[in-house]
Chain A
Amino acid sequence: MKRIIVILTASLTGLTILAGYFFQTQLANLTGLLIEWGILLVGLAGVIGVGYLFKMHLVRVAHWQKGSLLSLIVLVAFLVTVGIGFFLPPDSAFFRNWVLNIQIPVETSLLAILAVTMLFASLRIIRTRGWTLMSVSFLISALISLILNLHYLNPAIGTAGAEWLEFVRRLPLAGLRGILIGIALGGLIVGLRVLLGMDRPYEDES
């Protein structure tokens, strides 16, 4: 009985939202309300998730496990940020500076590391993937796209050169569209499996 109630909760919620796509004006209020509740639960789950993170590092520090000093950094940084965030007003310049001046250098530097990683990885692509139709077309396309991105080739509009260039630029779109349609199809099946109760990620009983 309990299991049926849980499955019905998932299915009815999903079906109501799905019906909202069909009866957009009639169900707008109800679907809006359900989505608001969903946002609230996602937010709460976010806080619980941060709790997991906090607990993991706290346990590490408490038991003086490997990496406990670094875990202490996480805990201190977290508590200081939460403290500043709640103590100062929402539009505080100091709070913004505190967060952004740590986030931006780290995020941009990680992207810079990615550039180097990808550069080296591209040099050994054939070793990684072998001579396949896909790897060769990948290389050709990457090379052409990099050249096109430099904007050295600028034939006059209306000429045959410009038309061919446009054609080459649009060529990757075909594969992209195919991949996107495929992923959407897979997504449709995944979503339906949850709505029909075939997949039940919310259950804690096998």
Chain B
Amino acid sequence: MTWTEIGWVIIGLAVVLLLFFNLLFTRRDWYPVRVNPAVNAFVKQRVRALEGGKQSQVVLGNRFWSRAYPALGLHALSVSASLVKADPGAQETQVFAAGTGELSLFARQILCGTYQDGYSSALNLILTGPTPHAFMAGFLAEMGLHSPGSVGLFGHYGPMEALILEAAQMKGGHSFAAAGSISAQAALFLTTRDLLIGEEIFLLPGLMDRSPSLQAAWISEDILRVLMIALLVIAAGLTLAGVL
């Protein structure tokens, strides 16, 4: 079996697991996941900001797709869908910031889907700059005009975005980060207590909106991860024996 074939097997298995668990379970809390203090803190501070009439800013990233981290854009959209579902009443104070046109268009679609009537996308969807650096500079400048109560970074970004969270903290807001490139996470590790590292980010939509479908994603990912660990051990053994 070649590595490419192994890749297809993994894809096939993921499809089967996702469909199986999606059809099998209908309850909301059937797969217990570990408590994540960072997410709990984010949820708490976000609610506090919204109740206090302060802005809760949701940053969707500065790219929709990248070769190294292809899924982060779609993941950010999944998170934002969960966030608007979790707080449909926060129409005025929840601000979504995107760094690309595609992200803005998708975010507009998600927002319109939730806030059906009387929703004005101009109110809470902003594009602060159309390239990664311009987005960051624009966002920092906007923060000078409107101090946020909480800022959450989701999607694709680089180490420079550590400045956004540092600025939010300086202004008394809460900061939270999920996703970003690994180098972004290395920079954010220093500046942000509430940070999700690596694959932890994929916990997020399900923690905001405990739909059975998102829990099917959790368990599928957990099973695949264990299988991959087993695969690595077996492949190492076979390579050592000269079979692979």
Residues of chain A having any CB pair with chain B under 8 Å: 18, 22, 41-42, 44-50, 52-53, 55-56, 59, 66-67, 70, 103, 106-107, 110-111, 113-114, 117-118, 121-122, 125, 128-129, 138, 176, 178-183, 185-194, 196, 198-199, 201-206
Cα–Cα, bound, A110→B159 (Å): 11
- The reply to whether B224 and A185 contact each other, CB–CB distance below 8 Å, is yes
Measured between beta carbons, the chain B residues less than 8 angstroms from A194 are 74
Known contacts A114-B160, A193-B78; decide if A121 and B166 are in contact (CB<8 Å): yes
Cα–Cα, bound, A117→B175 (Å): 15
Cα–Cα, bound, A49→B121 (Å): 13
Cα–Cα, bound, A179→B184 (Å): 13
Q: How far is the CB of B4 from chain A (nearest CB, A)?
A: 9
Known: A113-B163, A186-B201. 5 other contacts (CB 8 A): A110-B137, A121-B190, A129-B193, A186-B221, A193-B217
- The reply to whether B18 and A114 contact each other, CB–CB distance below 8 Å, is no
Cα–Cα, bound, A135→B234 (Å): 32
Of B25-33, B42-50, B94-102, the segment with at least 4 beta carbons within 8 Å of chain A is: B94-102
Cα–Cα, bound, A201→B78 (Å): 7
Q: Report which of A44, A191, A202 forms a contact with B106, defined as CB distance below 8 A.
A: A202
Q: How large is the interface on B (under 10, 10 to 19, 20 to 34, 35 or more residues)?
A: 35 or more
Nearest-CB residue, chain A, relative to B103: A49
Which of B19, B100, B202, B224 is packed against the most chain A CB atoms within 10 Å? B202
Nearest-CB residue, chain B, relative to A127: B193
- The reply to whether A192 and B14 contact each other, CB–CB distance below 8 Å, is yes
Interface pairs (23), CB distance under 8 Å: A18-B11, A42-B64, A42-B101, A49-B130, A66-B145, A70-B141, A110-B137, A110-B160, A114-B162, A121-B190, A138-B189, A183-B201, A186-B71, A186-B201, A187-B75, A189-B14, A190-B74, A191-B74, A196-B15, A201-B78, A202-B106, A203-B109, A206-B116
Q: How far is the CB of B26 from chain A (nearest CB, A)?
A: 14
Q: How far is the CB of A185 from chain B (nearest CB, A)?
A: 6
Measured between beta carbons, the chain A residues less than 8 angstroms from B128 are 53
Known contacts A50-B130, A59-B122, A114-B187; decide if A196 and B19 are in contact (CB<8 Å): yes
Nearest-CB residue, chain A, relative to B18: A192
Known contacts A53-B129, A118-B187, A118-B190; decide if A179 and B197 are in contact (CB<8 Å): yes
Say if the beta carbon of B91 comes within 8 Å of chain A: no
- The reply to whether B71 and A117 contact each other, CB–CB distance below 8 Å, is no
Measured between beta carbons, the chain A residues less than 8 angstroms from B53 are none
Interface residues of B in 68-93 (CB under 8 A from A): 69-71, 74-75, 77-78, 81, 85
Known contacts A45-B105, A128-B190, A201-B78; decide if A190 and B182 are in contact (CB<8 Å): no
Known contacts A55-B122, A129-B189, A194-B74; decide if A185 and B225 are in contact (CB<8 Å): yes
Q: How far is the CB of B114 from chain A (nearest CB, A)?
A: 6
- The reply to whether A50 and B101 contact each other, CB–CB distance below 8 Å, is yes
Cα–Cα, bound, A92→B10 (Å): 50
Measured between beta carbons, the chain A residues less than 8 angstroms from B57 are none
- The reply to whether B129 and A117 contact each other, CB–CB distance below 8 Å, is no
Cα–Cα, bound, A114→B164 (Å): 10
Measured between beta carbons, the chain A residues less than 8 angstroms from B8 are 22
- The reply to whether A192 and B130 contact each other, CB–CB distance below 8 Å, is no
- The reply to whether B163 and A190 contact each other, CB–CB distance below 8 Å, is no
Cα–Cα, bound, A47→B18 (Å): 36
Q: How far is the CB of B191 from chain A (nearest CB, A)?
A: 5
Q: Report which of A22, A42, A59, A187 forms a contact with B102, defined as CB distance below 8 A.
A: A42
